[in-house]
Structure 1
Amino acid sequence: MEIYQTEEQQVEAIKGYWEKNGNMIIAGIALGFAGFIGFNFYKDGQLEDELATSDSYQALMEESTKDKAAFTENASKFISENSATSYASLTALALAKEAVEQKDWQGAQTQLLVAVDKAPSDGIKGIASVRLARVQIQQEQFDEALATLSKPIPESFTAAVEEIKGDIYLLQNKTELALNAYQVAIASDGLATSPNLQMKVDDLATTVNLTTTVPVAK
């Protein structure tokens, strides 16, 4: 590194360096500053879009309690326009609920498939999958329902999944498989959310003459 012995030499050296590199330095600063502004502008714009989508979703949910027909129409449009957001899945779940209340099982299934596909988290996907299986049972699509439940679902849904499997097996007259599924559901603390589980086990155990071998959950 060159050592300058006088202030005049230092000044002349700085002048020379600036003449050679000044334009590059200015351009670099300008680009960096522009990039900083652009990044923050992008983030601000993104936040505004998210807030607008959130507001639209809240308005839809309020509408669902006041005007069912308008909600159905507007919700479908909302999903189409916001398919890349988490609100698409939540809106599809709401539409499926409306369809179930009307016993429109095919419509409910269509919306639940959207909810599963667009789910922003494993938890939401689990909820949608369990509801989808129940709707498929209503349509007697037993194999499809079992296939739905065979896909990865969070462990916290084990009791619900096994109880639904038990219901399917029972409808297929596969009593031993049904009993086993119900017992797994109970072992997974299923009685906490479905008190009728024990009754299902007891009734089924009597039917297949296995009363003495079926443990009673406490």
Structure 2
Amino acid sequence: MEIYENENDQVEAVKRFFAENGKALAVGVILGVGALIGWRYWNSHQVDSARSASLAYQNAVTAVSEGKPDSIPAAEKFAAENKNTYGALASLELAQQFVDKNELEKAAAQLQQGLADTSDENLKAVINLRLARVQVQLKQADAALKTLDTIKGEGWAAIVADLRGKALLSKGDKQGARSAWEAGVKSDVTPALSEMMQMKINNLSI
């Protein structure tokens, strides 16, 4: 399984996947149910819907990243109206904008919305990691730890361990933080992340 050093790379991978395969996914759905409800109509409708959602998503997040006037409300509207992976990705983008503005409560709410909008486990893991980071910043360490508990898969183990240590340290639990980081170092981890966690362990002794 691929090992992730941070969730940003996985976000980009998910975005690329849907940009490149959105139409193919729609066609896959068509092939499964087309015979039941009229293949021709369903084919046209689903492909058009996937194409429209993809284009609308790209337009919304591009406007946000360029700082265009009213782009945030427009992206919020898109995320609220699209209960799918595109809506979840828009929520991720909005949450980052809110974090950059130190509007952490808004960021957390947007991430919660994104979680409800997708069934993709990797994307959920990314969103939960972002949410846990925000919860730590909000001094909600217990909530962050519960959020981290929902993230499964060996590929995420090191990042989860790193953030778990940070959450525990914010509670004053140095031993818990040490244990989390030591587990992270022993996991299948990238050299850069391993070195960073080892530095944190060393700093606990200072």
- Deviation at 1:118? 1.7
Match of residue 6 from structure 2: none
Question: Relative CO higher for 1 or 2, CA cutoff 8 Å, sep ≥ 6?
Answer: 2
Match of residue 5 from structure 1: none
1:165-209 superposed Cα distances (whole Å, 9 cap, x missing partner) = 1111112221111111001111124453534211101122x25xx
Match of residue 59 from structure 1: 59
Change (3 A) 1:90 1:155: same
- Deviation at 1:153? 2.6
1:192 lines up with 2:176 in the alignment: no
Range with bigger deviation, 188-197 or 50-59: 188-197
Match of residue 143 from structure 1: 142
Change (3 A) 1:175 1:74: same
- Deviation at 1:39? 2.0
Where do 5+ consecutive residues of structure 2 fail to align? Answer: 1-34
Match of residue 71 from structure 1: 71
What CA RMSD, in Å, does the superposition of the two structures yield over aligned residues?
Answer: 1.9
Contact 1:75/1:91 (<8 A) preserved: yes
Across the two proteins, how many residue pairs are aligned to each other? 171
TM-score (norm. length: structure 2): 0.76
- 2:66 is paired with a residue whose SS is coil
Q: In structure 2, what is the Cα distance between the partners aligned to 1:104 and 1:182?
A: 29
Match of residue 50 from structure 2: 50
Contact 1:123/1:154 (<8 A) preserved: no
Q: In structure 2, what is the Cα distance between the partners aligned to 1:62 and 1:56?
A: 10
- Deviation at 1:37? 9.1
Structure showing greater Rg: 1
- Deviation at 1:98? 0.3
Q: In structure 2, what is the Cα distance between the partners aligned to 1:68 and 1:161?
A: 35
Change (3 A) 1:37 1:113: closer
Contact 1:162/1:182 (<8 A) preserved: yes
- 2:102 is paired with a residue whose SS is coil
Match of residue 103 from structure 1: 102
Code of the residue aligned with 2:66 in structure 1: it is K
- Deviation at 1:152? 4.0
TM-score (norm. length: structure 1): 0.73
Match of residue 134 from structure 1: 133
Q: In structure 2, what is the Cα distance between the partners aligned to 1:76 and 1:135?
A: 19
1:116 lines up with 2:115 in the alignment: yes
1:125-177 superposed Cα distances (whole Å, 9 cap, x missing partner) = 11110110110011101111111111243321111111111111112221111
User: What percentage of residue pairs aligned between the two structures are identical?
Assistant: 28
- Deviation at 1:61? 2.1
Code of the residue aligned with 2:44 in structure 1: it is D
Range with bigger deviation, 115-124 or 62-71: 62-71
